[in-house]
Structure 1
Amino acid sequence: MTDTALSSATASRHPLLWPLLAALLIIGWSSGFVGIRYANQEASVMLLLFWRTLLSGLILLPFALALGPRMSMRAIRDQALFGVMAVFLYLGGFALAIEQKVPTGLVALIADLLPLAIAVLSQPVLGERLSSRQWVGTVIAVIGVLIVSFDSLNFGTAPVWAYGLTVGSMLVFAVASVLYRRRKTQHMQVHQSLCIQTLTGSVLFGLCALTQGSLAPPMTRDFAIGIAWLVLIATFLAYAVYYTSLRLFPVAKVSAAIYLSPPVTMLWAWMLFSEPLTAAMFAGLAVTLVGVWMTARN
């Protein structure tokens, strides 16, 4: 039986598996805001991303070596490439855009259009064709995201290339996602893949951080809380659930859940930082839920 058939059989036997994974994915994906909010006041973004990826990779390393199949050099090379794309270029591109004064709301909006790019790529690359209903659901979800993000949108005064960087980072992650879904020959566990990817990212982020100064972490409580949150939830939970879901379900279905990250991020901000909630946010959440349901349901 092929990997695809095994994945389909596993998913069909457990009808509650996708709702559970989708909920965990939304929580993990939206939680990155919290860790960055805590730690970014204490260190540069590149230094923050260096420690996030380094600690993630080092924690996973003994498990990657002891649990799972033996990792071949070819598999390590492939996962290192995914680390460059899905960790360094994706996270680093958005971080650099923010440092260049691209408004955070605009960066978040472009990042949250990732499922749309994946939906476009899934047919020519994977042969996973979306139905008319799923395309309608995708359009509705995008409208919901726009409603949620509208109040925070402005265009700022950043250089033109920085705006293009945000689009490029999103597209790079979309390409990495469909390629990860397509490669069925690499029999590597998710924790092994994530270990290699984060360690690859840490090397590149470390080089970038060195150009800005020392790699020493700030010894403050907020930085420690932020890094712990980013490692445990925004990296381990978000990436592990995302890659596991890609192995079990169509890539467009998995990515559609990310449309719900903006309204959930607003809830994080309200609960932890007392940021206000508006009627537009709830309206956008309702619209997005309808779109995601139409896109993801069987």
Structure 2
Amino acid sequence: MQRPWLFPLLAAAMVISWSGGFIGIRFATEGAAVETMLFWRSLASGLILLPFALRGPAIGARAALAQGLLSFLGMFLYLGGFSWAIALRVPTGLVALMADLVPLAIAALAWPMLGQRWTGRQALGTLIGIAGVALTTAPALRLGHAPLYAYALPVLGMVTFGLATVLQKRSPGLGIVQRLCLQCLWAALFFSPFAALGGGLVPPMTFVALGGIAWLVLVATLASWGIYYLCLRLYPPNRVAALIYLSQPLTMVWAHLVFAEPLTLGMIAGLVVTLGGVALVSGQETA
């Protein structure tokens, strides 16, 4: 049955929770090392979902390994890239803006992998989107104090998340809870050596650290990724990816109000240009 009200409702919930992930990791890293936060974010989320995942159909070794690959691309490299960039003090709004190019990566990958045609409109949107990111990055590089390589980490995360999104569409079989549970546990395994060598496997027993973990688990993982998988099951990948860039304006405002991060006219102009490019890429996608 058609439910025209469902997509706007899911879209609003995903935009708010996805934006909260960027703000949450910025807050959490005030109290502990980013590697420790990422490890506990993944481990706690996976353990919470585990009893519910075990109630579903039996999970074979092949399915578990497939979710491991998706976790490496969509959680370890994506979350790691953006989180380490934020921890290195790349402005949070700029990091989230770089995530706006996710729909562009998905559109490019969907052509060879899902048979979706790459149109002239999408190619133009890609060029405009890249120009918008370049326009935004220029003032941020002058305002920020992060090392140069830190600005490449969100780009890596953007590409790998786009690949993971397309692969998700090609890997049916498991339910949403089972997928999310397995990918969180795999991500905890991937992050564990970095946590052990970095901030440690045990987080500080402080309000900031524990509150940050709780926010990352409940809002940035269970809510945002759960809604993301639900949307991906119901709608085409380009349409789902478009929701991610809609969280960007909210993230920039949050970061400016909460952390006093810069919000310049150049960044706003880059945002507008990038959103225009992404709209060109995603606008032709239908459910």
**CA distance 1:254–1:143, shift in 2 (3 Å):** farther
Counterparts of 2:276 and 2:98, CA distance in 1: 20
Answering whether residue 174 of structure 2 is matched by residue 188 of structure 1, we say yes
Matches within 5 A, 1:1-298: 13-66=2-55, 68-97=56-85, 101=88, 103-104=90-91, 107-129=95-117, 131-132=119-120, 151-154=139-142, 158=147, 164-184=152-172, 187-212=173-198, 214-270=200-256, 272-273=258-259, 295-296=282-283, 298=286
Give the superposition deviation at 1:82. 1.1
**CA distance 1:277–1:214, shift in 2 (3 Å):** closer
Counterparts of 1:296 and 1:24, CA distance in 2: 21
User: 2:31·2:209 contact (CA, 8 Å) conserved in 1?
Assistant: yes
Percentage of pairs with the same residue: 48
Matched residue SS, 1:14: coil
Matched residue SS, 1:218: coil
- Look up the equivalent residue of 2:170 and give its one-letter code: R
Structure 2 length-normalised TM: 0.82
Counterparts of 2:141 and 2:12, CA distance in 1: 27
User: 1:266·1:277 contact (CA, 8 Å) conserved in 2?
Assistant: yes
Counterparts of 1:293 and 1:112, CA distance in 2: 10
- Look up the equivalent residue of 2:81 and give its one-letter code: G
Give the superposition deviation at 1:17. 2.6
Counterparts of 2:5 and 2:124, CA distance in 1: 24
Give the superposition deviation at 1:110. 3.2
Stretches of structure 2 lacking an aligned partner (at least 5 in a row): none
- Look up the equivalent residue of 2:60 and give its one-letter code: S
Give the superposition deviation at 1:183. 2.1
Counterparts of 1:123 and 1:269, CA distance in 2: 35
Structure 1 length-normalised TM: 0.79
Counterparts of 2:186 and 2:273, CA distance in 1: 38
